[in-house]
Chains A and B, each alone.
Chain A
């Protein structure tokens, strides 16, 4: 029988840990070990909770999963069976003794290893860990409870695992600190948005705090969602010295009465609570009338794992991660040069983008593989929500799956087949979606026709269960130089969608001005017109201060930016210079370097001056070709820094600053070469990685930065890299040289294993190794070709291998 989470009071159970300790669990046992040793104790505890009034029993599976089996001495199936059977005993007894239906939940706790990017556990491995647990238990339990979670990403893996491997209801609770965030930074709102989208049956808060601290949080949570919310607080706060909970059952019930009258219909207790607490709570539930919660109707909101963006103002979507017309980015996607891609993201964030569009559309590039990879990389460095930009349903699904939070999908259109392919995916992962007002017949000329398509898209979204506020319409910008008459149709359609359908609108803006002079003026004017017609989500280049300033001014003029606070914050110390539109300069670079002073590139690099180095390189390029600039200026400058470092006159921070300045110079050259289609200047490629089991990567990254400076193409496989992964890339990309880093005595073995494995297949592959615990003797012993104590030694090793010079 289905459990009604909505229309009745449901009593959960109380703490397990305290009860187990009382029953004889030793400090050296986990609850799982003890439960398997004494399943009768579990049944006894469950019985006490049934007697106290619990409707749902959490089986003691909290710390059981496939990654912790070695300590249990049982197979996963055996362990799950024993512990769940103990709860089922109690369920049976409840029917016999009270004629009452009690439900048993598979209890899923955190795996105990943090997921990437914070830890080393891959999302896919977390999913599989949960999935096998669900498969082992699904025939016996009535529901699944995912609890005490602190990482929304891990929660997502668990919820997908439940939904894709069973038909069971799933309820989720996370643990928050007093500041309303989990240890990993998840906020209540991000949790609510993401889990509402994923379609859980109830969501709540457990552990960490007592009823008093959790009350305002649970009310906040209930304001964000229509899905039932629940609470399992601890028995107050523990004594810092003894770890014991001070609150008694009566006080607990007293405080929990507020929850009931406020409409929280699913309650229980966590650490420190016992059957007495649940009995008291049951009494409070009988005596108090259950109130009602109301979710506030909110405009469109999207989020990452820790940042929520509410679209109640003109919200900028950064368009720069899209290789269309950008050769350098295209090359970076092909080379999987993530540092460049990420630098594009960071630039846009710093410029004020609130959402980032992600498009990896390069011909012949497998976007099903690439889009999720880029999404993972982006969410490792930014909290901004992402807009997944692809027309390929498979790529969209792969990206949404690994996305932490609630994303936007860009896009569907009025074509039925497109909607039928993509909308189910949007619904499954709880995303918002952009609908383009075009269909199989192209873009209609008239506003009314585009509006009709928007109506069709909305109807279809509603049919699939996507809420109205998550539907965004893009009325499509046409190029004014080609279709001048139709520009006003776009604006008219936008206004109609906004006013008649009440939907949010998006628009790519800069297409408008193709083929015209002074494009920024045209773009900015069009943006302003569109905002006045109701544009919510301009998809623009946020690095254009022209555009950004128009948006900030718009917020002031519309009284959205009250007292012009944000406007003044951004522009208070600025002035407008050069508003005049001047005659074209024949040579852009002359203009940009004319104020650069007289320092040469040696000086600017040595002093770590990024902008000045760029200016110097551009100046040098006026009279030299790219390779001359590299070989006669940049590399000698770096050599000088390197010699200084060896001699001890230049220290690590300065060397890295110099490297960054040089890198800025190299980027100018790379961009020029990418645009002219000439061969890249790099040598290599060389793999660099921190070995399996080790997560220290800063030293490895230093080596990478310096080696890149010397023109070596570095393939950075990251940290905790398995020997097999390294071998795979060596074979796939025909790698001649591999650098390995290890910082722990315990992971040195992995270094040896990696060299051994790769050499079995590629006896001539060269290895250079380094890291705090590696010594020259050890390097020789494990068959490495070079022991490199620092980054400069690594450069020398690579030069020897690739140029024969030392």
Chain B
């Protein structure tokens, strides 16, 4: 189904992603305005989900099992900005690399807010207690499960998400995730650095930060 994102793209985070410290100059602000406009114009934000019994959702790894502990059902979700955004970013890289980078960061933020909006809708419609979302590739939940998640949701036919043979999603700005559903309050649990496959390479961790922050 179509997903509406009500809030504009978060400027503060956008600048942070771009590595800009302090206030943006007039030109950059203008570029962000222009980028937001074309992104919203080109994005066709769609989502699909399916609620399955926990035992029907194949997972592996410690972190996701922990996250879904106590849940008897799982909402499997997939969200995409559509291929138009990929095309836009690819084109801009030929003529205006600076703008392409701005678009790319903006699109990453836009897919996150689309996920938030969709997650909210799912929560409201399933009624029960739910965890936050947990995606393949996070913690030690392998990316190889993208294929399963796409199959559970029929996301390829329903909203046009495909995986490459290395399990990367196309359109690039797409997200899949699991949300645990329980009949009692659950919080889920973010992966800890100890069990994360990125622990040796994570730049956040070196700075003493955590990706859940």
Contacts and interface: CB of A to CB of B under 8 A. Distances in A.
A240 B1 contact: yes
A698 B168 contact: no
Given A28-B148, A113-B163, A695-B170, A339 B100 contact: no
A651 B200 CA distance: 27
B179 to A, nearest CB: 14
A712 to B, nearest CB: 16
A654 B19 CA distance: 11
A667 B89 CA distance: 23
A346 B100 contact: no
B86 A118 contact: yes
Interface in A454-506: none
Given A112-B162, A113-B162, A745-B198, A381 B94 contact: yes
A395 B58 CA distance: 49
B129 interface: no
A653 B58 contact: no
Interface string A292-330: 000000000000000000000000000000000000000
A241 interface: yes
B94 A702 contact: no
A745 B31 contact: no
A654 B95 CA distance: 15
A660 B98 contact: yes
B162 A653 contact: no
B168 A694 contact: yes
Interface residues of A, number: 59
B5 interface: no
Contact of A28 (B56, B97, B165): B56
Contacts of B163: 112-113
Contacts of B98: 608, 652-654, 656-657, 659-660
Interface stretch (A189-197, A415-423, A767-775): A767-775
B21 A656 contact: no
Interface string B156-180: 1101101111111011100000000
Interface string A754-785: 00000000000000000011110010000000
A40 interface: no
A342 B94 contact: yes
B94 A651 contact: no
A114 interface: yes
Given A28-B58, A150-B160, A654-B28, A380 B90 contact: yes
B125 to A, nearest CB: 6
17 contacts: A27-B151, A112-B162, A113-B165, A113-B170, A118-B170, A148-B157, A208-B157, A380-B90, A608-B98, A653-B28, A653-B102, A660-B96, A720-B164, A745-B198, A745-B201, A773-B201, A778-B200
Interface of A: 26-28, 30, 67, 110, 112-114, 117-121, 148, 150, 175, 183-185, 207-208, 240-241, 243, 339, 342-343, 346, 380-382, 608, 648, 651-654, 656-657, 659-660, 693-695, 698, 701-702, 705, 720, 744-747, 772-775, 778
Among all A-B residue pairs, the 5 with the closest Cβ atoms: A183-B160, A656-B98, A693-B166, A651-B20, A657-B98
Interface of B: 1, 18-21, 27-28, 31, 50-52, 56, 58, 82-84, 86-87, 89-91, 93-98, 100-102, 104, 125, 143, 148, 151-152, 154, 156-157, 159-160, 162-168, 170-172, 197-198, 200-201, 203
